[in-house]
Amino acid sequence: MSYNNYGNGFQRTTPVVLNLIIINALVWIAQLALDNSLQITGHFALYPYKSPLFEPYQLVTHMFTHGGWAHILFNMFALWSFGSLLERSWGPKRFLIFYLACGLAAGITHLAFQNVPAVGASGAIMGLFAAFAYLFPNSELIIFPIPFPVKAKYAVAIMAGIDLFGGVNPTAGGNIAHFAHLGGLAMGFILVIIWNKTNRKTFY
């Protein structure tokens, strides 16, 4: 998924987004290189809170751990695409608070509704997508394999509907933490609404 954003990619990348991508990449490399000996994924994944493997720190570490190449590449591309614009709009500190809050909300929601381990930044990414759709609802997104651009306000509604369906129908949900996505999405909307309650200049 991406939106029309032309120019030099390196120059568009903001510092917090860049560092988040680097941290995710380093953890992924550690997973590939050290999982057999140190069980990186096993320690960093978010386990159900009743599991003997659950640790509170996993609410943070799970969002920097991924389950495959497609998983991390999609999440990092989305982080770069939407996060850089939001960081430029809000500044580094507020953006980092937003990103981590969405990731934490995703983890808590997952613990409340799904009794399986979870990894990935997808919940935090869904929060970014919610903020982007709220602030720039008419921006056109390219969503594979849809052959035409979709406005952000419609795309977020479609994605929320898919996650809700997958969450309440486990047999159709696949190996995806749908409720974590919804938790991150909800937190993203809540924060951006609060922060922009008196500032509607950025809407179009």
Catalytic residues, by residue number, are 122, 181
End-to-end CA, the chain: 20
Q: Residue 51 and residue 177: Cα distance in Å, rounded? A: 17
The per-residue DSSP string of the chain comes to -EE---S-HHHH--HHHHHHHHHHHHHHHHHHHHHHHH-HHHHHSB--TTSTT--TTHHHHGGG--SSHHHHHHHHHHIIIIIHHHHHHH-HHHHHHHHHHHHHHHHHHHHHH--S-B--SHHHHHHHHHHHHHHSTT-EEE-TT-SS-EEHHHHHHHHHHHHHHHHH-HHHH-S--HHHHHHHHHHHHHHHHHHTTT--TT--
Distances (CA, A) of 78 to 101, 168, 191: 17, 25, 19
